[in-house]
Amino acid sequence: MIKRIRIIFILFVLLGLFSCSKFLNEITTIISTTNEVTTTTKAQTATMDLEIHYIDVGQADSIYIKLPNNQHMLIDAGNNSDGVLVVDYLLNQGVTTINYLIGTHPHEDHIGGLDDVINHFVIEHVYLPNKTSSTKTYDSVLKAISDKELSVTVAKEGIILFDVVLNGKTIKANMLSPISETYTDTNDYSPVIKLTYGNTSYLFTGDAEEVVEEEILEKGVDIEADVLKLGHHGSDSSTSQDFLDAVSPSIGIICVGKDNNYGHPSEEIIERLINNGVEIYRTDEAGTIIVKSNGDEILVETEKTIVNPNPGETTTTTENTLAFNLIINEVLPAPNSIFSQEWIELYNPTSEDIDISGFIIDDIEDGGTNPITIDQGTIIEANSYCVLYFTKMFNNSGDDVRLLSPQELVIDEFTYQDTEYDYSWYRINNLDWDDSQTENPTPNAFNRSDDNE
């Protein structure tokens, strides 16, 4: 577990877009062991030579790991229908040999594509738990192993996949489970694997549930990790509070299918992660997620743009929305006698200044009649407000209010209905929008309830 790390969040589709000095498309976050968070500009980093790819295979698991010593590891391969997808993904990564192949347990959504993987690549080491199945999927995996005359190592507690030192940094992966010889639930045969690289660490849990988590906790082993792959697709059968507390991750990854029939991930688990201050990334929202590291810093890349993976914020997916901690906080669309101009108040809730040079205020989806481009050098200080004044942008009968990046990607938006003169729409206590307007607008100040107590 790192004592002090940098975590940098990057969106695939946005690389290289911004040039401002604070909140770029690359956001560097310093996280200490006390969970105190600050934000800085990106520093020069060493080569990110560890890559962990949480491949988007829907309601299934497949995790490809490129190790710093140029070896390759694969944990599961999705459903039967995902075999070709996983093979193609690995080929696109330049993989020809898989040094460590792990099938966590004999459920189709984990080992379904393993036979395709085995048939297409050179395989050095295969790990399966001591749990069989009578399904055709399992038989296909065994046949592929037999056809290549591969030997299988039983996945269990104490197995060390590798433990080497490269450029002064330790690279180690070991199995913390299965601990018992037998389990009632097949999911619990999943090996929990801890990967360590330098000062960073990662935990992979398959579908292991609370029974296994309790066994691991009773062993008293070090399971602290910076990145946790949540067990069983974020089900409430896994990731107990005690286990989460012991792992103490900064980032949680959930491999899950969109609109699945199981209700994954559980709302209880999402709330638990939020309460523990864990950044949440989900394949149903972000697509394939890639975590990179140089042993000191951690970089997260997502296939799709996501909004606010930060704790306490709603995470949604859209192709034209940026993850920014900057909000539209108050809007006055119809000035009359008290105010002479329309205005928007922006609020920066973070502990760092934000440069909004070139950002755009707009009123409709495809560009308003009078979009406003924010002047160069405009900076909103930490925990402060910025009020922008203009004329003839908004309709009194209702309109949209949007804050866009210089690339016209939506950062925040609000829609209002009929409006009263000199009344404003506002977020109550700088949080949720009130359903009605206030006759007491508060530009450049904290928004209280409408009675201004």
Question: Within a domain: residue 221?
Answer: yes
Task: Report the C-alpha gap between 300 and 52 in whole angstroms.
Answer: 10
Against a cut of 0.85, is the pTM above it?
no
Task: Report the C-alpha gap between 47 and 70 in whole angstroms.
Answer: 13
Question: Within a domain: residue 440?
Answer: no
Question: Within a domain: residue 167?
Answer: yes
Cα angle for residues 117, 120, 123 (degrees, 5° grid):
70
Among the ranges given (29-43, 102-116, 165-179, 243-257), the one the predictor scored with the smallest mean pLDDT: 29-43
Mean pLDDT of 201-226: 97
Q: Which residues contact 270 (CB under 8 A, 6 or more apart)?
A: 234, 280
Which amino acid appears at position 198 of this protein? G
Residues 331 and 308 both lie in one domain: no
Strand 279-282 and strand 251-254: the pairing is parallel
Question: Within a domain: residue 437?
Answer: no
Q: Which pLDDT belongs to residue 429?
A: 72
Q: Give me the CATH number covering residue 344.
A: 2.60.40.1260
Q: Which residues contact 395 (CB under 8 A, 6 or more apart)?
A: 333, 363
Residues 335 and 310 both lie in one domain: no
Residues 371 and 239 both lie in one domain: no
Q: Which residue, 287, 317, 347, sits at the end of a domain?
A: 317
pLDDT > 90: percent of the chain:
58
Question: Within a domain: residue 441?
Answer: no
Question: Within a domain: residue 220?
Answer: yes
Tell me the CA end-to-end span of the chain in Å, nearest whole number. 46
Q: Which pLDDT belongs to residue 369?
A: 57
Q: Which pLDDT belongs to residue 5?
A: 44
Q: Which residue, 317, 344, 366, sits at the end of a domain?
A: 317
Domain range for 333 is 327-430
Mean pLDDT of 229-237: 96
Q: What is the pLDDT of residues 263-302, one digit of tens each?
A: 999 999 999 999 999 999 999 999 999 999 999 999 898 8
Residues 259 and 364 both lie in one domain: no
Q: Kindly report the length of the chain.
A: 453
Q: Give me the CATH number covering residue 257.
A: 3.60.15.10
Q: Which pLDDT belongs to residue 320?
A: 40
Residues 346 and 309 both lie in one domain: no
Q: What is the pLDDT of residues 338-362, one digit of tens each?
A: 999 999 999 888 777 888 888 888 8
Residues 422 and 356 both lie in one domain: yes
pLDDT at 390 > cutoff 90: no
Residues 163 and 185 both lie in one domain: yes
Torsion of CA 63, 320, 9, 236, to 10 degrees: -50
Q: Which residues contact 422 (CB under 8 A, 6 or more apart)?
A: 332, 334, 335, 336, 337, 338, 339, 439, 441
pLDDT at 4 > cutoff 80: no
Residues 306 and 360 both lie in one domain: no
What is the residue-averaged pLDDT of the chain? Answer: 84
Domains held by the chain: number: 2
Collect contacts of 80-83 with beta carbons under 8 A, ≥24 apart: 80/108, 80/112, 80/113, 80/137, 81/112, 81/113, 82/57, 82/58, 82/112, 82/113, 83/112, 83/113, 83/114, 83/115, 83/116, 83/117
Among the ranges given (16-25, 50-59, 100-109), the one the predictor scored with the smallest mean pLDDT: 16-25
pLDDT at 31 > cutoff 50: no
Radius of gyration of the chain (CA): 25
Task: Report the C-alpha gap between 371 and 379 in whole angstroms.
Answer: 19
Q: What is the pLDDT of residues 43-85, one digit of tens each?
A: 334 688 999 999 999 999 999 999 999 999 999 999 999 999 9
Residues 311 and 221 both lie in one domain: yes
In a 13 Å sphere around the CA of 83, the CA atoms on its Cβ side amount to 18
Structure tokens at 380: 């909103």
Question: Within a domain: residue 442?
Answer: no
Residues 286 and 413 both lie in one domain: no
Question: Within a domain: residue 226?
Answer: yes
Nearest C-alpha neighbor of 425 from the set 319, 314, 333: 333
Residues 236 and 347 both lie in one domain: no
Residues 343 and 309 both lie in one domain: no
